[in-house]
Structure 1
Amino acid sequence: MKKSYLAQQNIGTTTLTFNFSEGATQALVITLKDTTPSSSGGSGGGSGGAAPAPAPVKPAVERLSGQDRIETALAIAKASYSGKVSKVILAASDNYPDALAGNVLAYKEKAPILLVGRTDEEQEKVIAYMKSDMDFAGIVYILGGSGSVSKDMEEKINQAGFKNVNRIGGADRYETATKIADTVGVKEGTPIVLVSGENYPDALSISSIAAINGYPIFMVNKDEIPEVVKKEISTIKPSKVYIIGSQGAISAAVENQLFQTVDKTNIVRIGGADRFKTSLNVAKYFNLSGTKVCVASGNNFPDALAGSSYAANSNAPIILLDNSLTEEQKSYLENAKLKGVVIFGGTGAVSSEVEQELTQIFK
């Protein structure tokens, strides 16, 4: 008896097995063709033949910026995370140490770093972002004591409906960094990073790399490791210590103090003749596998500070720039097999001339 079979399937080829008679099995291959009329002709109408719109192509050179450091941090936050975030990191906009140590926490918690100003207007910008882009049941981490982010700001956050506020602060920047590491939950044997507690550039250069790898950042004086940091190092028992900066920033005396807990062969110093060369040397040493690089002014801290979370999410280093690209920086950017660059900050931080130089490299 002759039988008919009707199959419905998307365009393609499929194999079906039919039993035509007892004990006999045959394979029947049915090839289906699309009979939907195209949108450019025929009488079918509808959208069957319409091709989907291509996804927008991002430019090779992007700039994330706002009218000021507060708004730049918010622009970076929005570019870093789509939808509502469940956690945010708040740090003072006019001081760098707390946020520098907090980038590892930000990356782990998938939280943007927001910079908090002193005026009501500046603070309201941050709260407005939280209301629109954050889950009200989420966690707000405030880095530093009330001298960094005021109790008044904390009260405003509570009044806005965010009740889960966790302030992480110590007696000074050195202790605050250790408390942040405790919050992250650094495991024994984890490599650590030491940076100067007296200036920001070297810490900015390592910030995204430390975050990606989960290496806590601790601050030291030029010639001495503070006791609270020594205790933390003794607890962690790091397998490796990275000192970022030349001996002009952190002297050999600090290395000698490390010998008490870390073998000399496990101490690595990455520095350069200035902050810009140090930044480039850090990027070269760790050689991240991402296809982007992030750049920011090396003459001020806020933009790179807020951008460290974005850079970490992009598996990208942060290169600090002066008023123009050096030949070494150009060579690195041309030969590092990168597909794009993200500039943190407006033209007052990284000039349009530098942006043009970057555009020529990545065109």
Structure 2
Amino acid sequence: MESRQVGQDGPGQQAETTRASEVTSLGARGQGFRTGHEYTDHRAVWGRWFVHPGTGILGSLSREGPHAMRSGPTGPGPRAGTRRRTSPQVGGAPTPHPHIMLRHFTTFLRAMLAATLLLSVLALPAHADSVVSRSFGPDRISTAVEASENFRVSANDALLATAFAFPDALTAGALAHRMNAPVLLTGRDALPGIVADELARLGVTTVWILGGQGAISADVEQALTDMGLRTRRLAGTSRYGTAREIVRAAGSSATGEVVLALGEHNDPDRAWPDAVASGALAATPDRIPTVLTRSDALPEETEEALEIIGATDVIILGDDSVIDDDVEAHLHMLGYATRRVTGDNRYETSVALASDALARFDSTEQPAVFASGRAFPDALSAGSLAASLGAPLLLVPPTEKLPGTSERFLRDHADRFSMGVVVGGPAAADEYVLAQLDAALQGQPSPAQPREEQPPAEPAAAPEPAPAEPVQPAAAEEDNETFEGDASYYGPGLNGNQTANGETFDMYGMTAAHRTLPFDTIIRVTNLNNGRQVDLRINDRGPYADDRVLDVSYGAAQELQMMDDGVVPVRVEVLSSP
């Protein structure tokens, strides 16, 4: 199969260009609906189902009368909490894979079976009165797979982005919409087995790699080629260049509009929420793309992107404290009309975007997609899911009461929403948040806030046997979800050894060692000396030094810029546990 790889660059940066003329397989494809952990009663929510003649697109006969959906439900999939795929990671050496013709044939049979089930089986609701469900897995990669598996029967194209940085995945909403493609996630150096399995299940023929080899290595691309897949890489020399190439492939919006979102910030937690929320406009029939900017200057790559797609109007996300007035003035000088979408916080900005998006939908009823407003990993998949379902996207808090503007928006437009899907597990939005969303969509009184705190997470796994010499506890004490202390790194000399969880240690992988956190726990590590952050997966035990709380991989140490110091103070936040 044909493979194309352009350029090479440093960590987190990207390579050159693949033209929009190379975009193929953009036709609409039928998709399916299944919630991974809770089922929704389609009889109450979606009405009766039909297939649009000649299209394969599922639609519904709603309670208000016939209307077409961009995508829609199929029958139920496997029971909640089960996993059908257990294959190991794919990467490095070529991995045997079923013959491509057999893969296409089995995908066809699976699609036919799903269509048959659709006509005869209705999913049972998790709760008889609930219209809000979840789509999630134990980590961000699994969550992206679940979001695809729950709502799709097939796809010709798929987008593949790094799981450890937000810009590439979050600027891909319009491209995912144009291609009707899922956004799946991967590590830098190996293609996860569950991702390979999902590509095979969908019958994907072309994978669009977002970012250069510093983000997704040639080994991952080779693994895709070994599966018989065609690959295309969309990349520039920075996040702004990659956003330009993604927009080039996505093409212009129906209205000439484009969204301008903040691309970086000294506090990484402030750089991504607006870009996530912009997925609300990418999901509309207007298919409005998102490009990125620095706070104080418009990057040259972004100027090029605006020219490439023939933009006329720029929607700036945030006030002048987020994106400076000088950037807006520069846009005016270039001849673009501008308007700002702002709010007092990320949730208000999200509501403003969702309200704008809702007005652009022709249908009288559609789903709503909810994403975490506090942690980007699960939110990475929300934009493409919103585009698939033709759904506005709204940010929600993880635990507390819904912001007043968010609740009012949902209640004021409850007649427009047929159901809601939260992308992410309890760490993204707990059961209290789900109950509030459900009450708002059904016009019911908001539930009382629990007086007692949520139950603690499952106890951490027992520590590995200590080394011969006794180890004293670390100086810093862990406090549930967040703790601080010193971190060191390891890699050279240990690369290729077996880790405590049985993997082969990759010194460039985004992993870490901790004494007790369960394997596959996802943590966010902040270097307190410089504010640099990276999200890591626990796959080893350590450190065995009495004054340290964490050992990170060599690659993670590079991202944290701790190579010169060796040992640095860090803050560790647990994002998700298996």
TM-score by length of 1: 0.78
Q: Which residue of 1 aligns with 2:316?
A: 243
Instruction: Give the drift of 1:119.
Output: 6.7
Map 1:247-258 → 2, pairs under 5 A = 247-258=320-331
Alpha-carbon distance in structure 2 between the residues aligned to 1:57 and 1:241: 44
Alpha-carbon distance in structure 1 between the residues aligned to 2:287 and 2:376: 22
Q: Output one character per residue of 1:338-360: Cα deviation in whole Å (capped at 9) or x when no partner.
A: 23211010011111111122233
Alpha-carbon distance in structure 2 between the residues aligned to 1:118 and 1:277: 34
Matching of residue 185 in structure 1 with residue 251 in structure 2? yes
Q: Which residue of 2 aligns with 1:111?
A: 181
1:94 counterpart letter in structure 2: F
Instruction: Give the drift of 1:294.
Output: 1.2
Specify the SS of the correspondent of 2:333: coil
Q: Of the candidates 371, 376, 390, which is equivalent to residue 315 of structure 1?
A: 390
C-alpha distance 203-352 of structure 1, shift in aligned 2 (>3 A): same
TM-score by length of 2: 0.50
Q: Which residue of 2 aligns with 1:167?
A: 233
Map 1:129-140 → 2, pairs under 5 A = 129-135=198-204, 138-140=205-207
Specify the SS of the correspondent of 1:339: strand
Map 1:269-308 → 2, pairs under 5 A = 269-288=340-359, 289=361, 290-308=365-383
C-alpha distance 235-53 of structure 1, shift in aligned 2 (>3 A): closer
Specify the SS of the correspondent of 2:171: helix
Alpha-carbon distance in structure 2 between the residues aligned to 1:203 and 1:292: 21
Matching of residue 143 in structure 1 with residue 143 in structure 2? no
Q: Output one character per residue of 1:43-91: Cα deviation in whole Å (capped at 9) or x when no partner.
A: xxxxxxxxx9674476511110111111110111112321x31111000
Alpha-carbon distance in structure 2 between the residues aligned to 1:282 and 1:205: 7
Q: Which residue of 2 aligns with 1:154?
A: 221
1:175 counterpart letter in structure 2: G
Q: Which residue of 2 aligns with 1:126?
A: 195
Instruction: Give the drift of 1:189.
Output: 7.3
Matching of residue 200 in structure 1 with residue 200 in structure 2? no
Q: Which residue of 2 aligns with 1:14?
A: none
Instruction: Give the drift of 1:238.
Output: 2.0
Q: Is the 8 A contact 1:188 1:237 kept in 2?
A: no
Instruction: Give the drift of 1:270.
Output: 0.1
Q: Is the 8 A contact 1:91 1:113 kept in 2?
A: yes
Alpha-carbon distance in structure 1 between the residues aligned to 2:308 and 2:232: 24
1:334 counterpart letter in structure 2: R
Q: Which residue of 2 aligns with 1:73?
A: 144
Specify the SS of the correspondent of 1:353: helix
Instruction: Give the drift of 1:98.
Output: 0.9
Alpha-carbon distance in structure 2 between the residues aligned to 1:108 and 1:154: 23
1:349 counterpart letter in structure 2: A
Q: Is the 8 A contact 2:280 2:353 kept in 1?
A: no
Residues matched between the structures, number: 305
Q: Of the candidates 330, 337, 343, which is equivalent to residue 407 of structure 2?
A: 330
C-alpha distance 226-302 of structure 1, shift in aligned 2 (>3 A): same
Alpha-carbon distance in structure 2 between the residues aligned to 1:110 and 1:53: 26
Q: Output one character per residue of 1:301-323: Cα deviation in whole Å (capped at 9) or x when no partner.
A: 12222121111222222111123
- 5+ residue gaps, structure 1, are 1-51
Q: Is the 8 A contact 1:91 1:144 kept in 2?
A: yes
C-alpha distance 202-187 of structure 1, shift in aligned 2 (>3 A): closer
Q: Is the 8 A contact 2:371 2:393 kept in 1?
A: yes
Q: Is the 8 A contact 1:222 1:250 kept in 2?
A: yes
Alpha-carbon distance in structure 1 between the residues aligned to 2:253 and 2:346: 30
Alpha-carbon distance in structure 2 between the residues aligned to 1:359 and 1:352: 10
Instruction: Give the drift of 1:180.
Output: 1.4
Instruction: Give the drift of 1:335.
Output: 1.3
Alpha-carbon distance in structure 1 between the residues aligned to 2:302 and 2:166: 18
Q: Of the candidates 297, 303, 307, which is equivalent to residue 230 of structure 1?
A: 303
Q: Identify, as 1 or 2, the structure richer in helix.
A: 1
Q: Of the candidates 404, 428, 434, which is equivalent to residue 349 of structure 1?
A: 428
Instruction: Give the drift of 1:187.
Output: 7.4
Specify the SS of the correspondent of 2:156: strand
Q: Of the candidates 158, 167, 172, which is equivalent to residue 97 of structure 1?
A: 167
Matching of residue 259 in structure 1 with residue 328 in structure 2? no
CA-atom RMSD, angstroms? Answer: 2.1
1:117 counterpart letter in structure 2: G
Specify the SS of the correspondent of 1:259: helix
Alpha-carbon distance in structure 1 between the residues aligned to 2:427 and 2:254: 43
1:332 counterpart letter in structure 2: F
C-alpha distance 235-93 of structure 1, shift in aligned 2 (>3 A): closer
Matching of residue 64 in structure 1 with residue 135 in structure 2? yes
Q: Which residue of 1 aligns with 2:438?
A: 359
Specify the SS of the correspondent of 1:193: strand
1:195 counterpart letter in structure 2: A
Alpha-carbon distance in structure 2 between the residues aligned to 1:141 and 1:53: 36
Specify the SS of the correspondent of 1:149: coil
- The answer to which structure, 1 or 2, has the higher relative contact order (CA under 8 A, 6+ apart) is 1
The structure with the largest alpha-carbon Rg is 1
C-alpha distance 57-240 of structure 1, shift in aligned 2 (>3 A): farther
Instruction: Give the drift of 1:211.
Output: 4.2
Q: Output one character per residue of 1:244-293: Cα deviation in whole Å (capped at 9) or x when no partner.
A: 12222211111000012235xx3110011111111111112333434321
Quote the sequence identity (%): 30
